[in-house]
Chain A
């Protein structure tokens, strides 16, 4: 009997220490002697395109048997990834040497000294994508994936994709009376990061920007007002269906594939799914993509994508930097593009006839990426995007008048950008 109690006590103790142990990351198994910043590394990657990424890592490992890279996958949702990475950084953990960062996190990670400055060749990359890896003019992350909003439209109903919002409305007025149960246009308007993307896209497409060159908010400017009115009026008139305030990427993609939308703003990833002929898509072969429309001409999308950064707490800095250079080398990026539909930031890819044959949307995408604008590069991006979502959601749901929502956002952003 006593033995049993002792056992139970011991088990409870183990439980306690295990619980404590798990909150602190396991120390990296690094040898004590100075290895000149070289040695095995860990790459914290995303779940998407994991197989294609693994192929590149395998190629690296074959060439560098002494400095092998291991891939650890981060959680799927972007905010969970961010939290995990921040946790690692705050405990100064060397658990991840190379990290996949969302393009918009660069400022936060650089300002907190969580990532090391990089000295890599960025020629050949689309300039807009390189900008997303910089903080105060210095490079902290290398673009590896990119992407921006594209306008999906029905080629069976629309002859020429619209270049302006007015044209889009005109086409809808002509086409929709014949099409029962179809709405004109939708994007991602639920209250989450997608709303920030869609809202800043609308402002940029009206010729404005959320922040000016000196980083001051410009929400009371005329373009911002016109963009907000385009969204608010779109919802009020039914041009944008009411349920679009519950759309994230997938809900809207499904609606488009079911033939409920004439125009849909989404990332390039939706192309393959909508093209499927297994019955999941009713629009296969009946749609195409174009750059998104704007107020007085083609619009400007929001730049998405992911960058590679080296953790400031990595024990093998030199290997990690070489690994980033390897992964973003022209050869590897081309190999990646051949096996995955994820858009990449290297300009030459968009001229490659083999790839264009495989992904016919590449020319439209290149045009869109070059015109695309980054989201505000703020150290406190989490607060900035929350403030934008707050006001933009009030605009799309009609909870507040446009002018009031914008001036509130203007004053909310001020203190966050200091």
Chain B
């Protein structure tokens, strides 16, 4: 039984956190939203000076959302997200299974698998750029003369490869954590019942690791939808075949088009929010189940 005072004390203690959140999350969000309806710095007076001030632009900044460039960036982002997350889930689960199994040298194996995840993305991008350059390791090994880092379909593949290399270990790590809380006697019972290996995997491992896996997928989805650094470093800015929504927003902002940049940013925010919501609803990634259970338990008591 909790007293009222306790709740108030908790609210009081949390208030600095909420204040910080309001300052660093809510304020930029609202200010970007406001900015997306304004226009500035685009008019010259007779002497060639830029007219100072801001003008309400209505929805003009949002016009680009239906434009070719934005749709291309949205398609790239979606494609990268779907492909990389799918591949990473398969590889990550495989990694986790291997990491759980390997008894000898397990610590070494785990550390080895996690190294790519520890490398900063920009550094990984540079490394892969070096591998994929015209006279780089990739072409030497494959015996090809592909220009991986020039604009084109190969650049897409290069980005996917580099991203999978880097983040599959992250999925592996989360899934491994999920695997380790599955009690051993469940498997023992399955063995006694004569379940085949794949049956054990489909009927026991996968359902039991599902909560951890869904969290990993959700995290990866969010990450992949806002990916910027890898395509930027590996292939370069404004390359049509790999430009993501974040890349487009960055480019507009650096060219001092804050209005359109804010409009695209708002669109990306909505896109991510919708995907996250749909994911949680459809796949039942019930991230708050723990909290809800406790609450219900308390109500019953």
Q: Write the residues of chain A forming the contact surface with B, with a CB cutoff of 8 angstroms.
A: 5, 9-10, 12-13, 15-16, 19-20, 79, 82-83, 86, 110-113, 135-136, 190-192, 242-243, 245-246, 251, 379-380, 382-383, 386, 389-390, 393, 397, 418
Contacts and interface: CB of A to CB of B under 8 A. Distances in A.
Given A382-B254, A389-B238, A243 B135 contact: yes
Given A112-B50, A113-B49, 16 more contacts: A5-B13, A9-B13, A9-B16, A12-B16, A13-B16, A13-B19, A13-B20, A16-B23, A110-B48, A243-B135, A246-B134, A382-B254, A386-B251, A390-B238, A393-B151, A418-B44
A86 B23 contact: no
B24 A16 contact: yes
Contacts of B24: 16, 19
A19 B23 contact: yes
Contacts of B256: 86, 382
Contacts of B150: 190, 245-246, 397
Interface residues of B, number: 33
B112 interface: no
Nearest to B132: A246
Contacts of A390: 238
Nearest to A19: B24
Contact of B239 (A16, A111, A191, A380): A191
Given A112-B41, A251-B133, A389-B238, A383 B147 contact: no
Interface string B139-181: 0000001010111100000000000000000000000000000
A412 to B, nearest CB: 13
A142 B114 CA distance: 52
A397 B151 contact: yes
Nearest to B135: A243
B236 A191 contact: yes
Contacts of A242: 134, 145, 147
Interface in B1-37: 13, 15-17, 19-20, 23-24
A19 B52 CA distance: 28
5 contacts: A15-B20, A191-B151, A192-B237, A383-B255, A397-B150
Contacts of B290: none
Given A111-B44, A245-B147, A12 B50 contact: no
A390 B23 CA distance: 39
A319 B107 CA distance: 63
Between A135, A243, A393, the greatest number of chain B beta carbons within 10 A of the residue's beta carbon is seen for A243
Contacts of B152: 397
**Secondary structure class of chain B's binding surface, majority of residues:** loop
Interface in B98-144: 133-135
Between B145, B237, B256, the greatest number of chain A beta carbons within 10 A of the residue's beta carbon is seen for B256
Nearest 8 A/B pairs, CB to CB:
A243-B134, A382-B255, A16-B20, A9-B16, A12-B16, A112-B50, A136-B48, A245-B150
Contacts of B42: 380
Contacts of B23: 16, 19-20
A257 to B, nearest CB: 13
B47 interface: yes
Contact of A111 (B50, B149, B151, B255): B50
Between B13, B48, B150, B238, the greatest number of chain A beta carbons within 10 A of the residue's beta carbon is seen for B150
Given A16-B24, A19-B24, A112-B50, A243 B255 contact: no
Contacts of B17: 9, 12
Contact of A243 (B15, B147, B237): B147
Contacts of A379: 44, 48, 50
Nearest to B10: A5
Nearest to B152: A397
Contact of A246 (B16, B52, B133, B145): B133
A112 B48 CA distance: 9
A96 to B, nearest CB: 18
B254 A192 contact: no
Contacts of A86: 256
Contacts of A418: 44
Contacts of A113: 49-50, 52
Contacts of B149: 246
Contacts of A192: 236-237
Contacts of A393: 151
A26 to B, nearest CB: 18
Interface string B197-227: 0000000000000000000000000000000
Contacts of A15: 20
A346 B256 CA distance: 34
Nearest to A190: B236
Interface string B232-265: 0000111100000000000100111000000000
Contacts of B237: 191-192
A83 B147 CA distance: 30
B254 A16 contact: no
Contacts of B49: 111-113
A191 B235 CA distance: 10
A389 B24 CA distance: 36
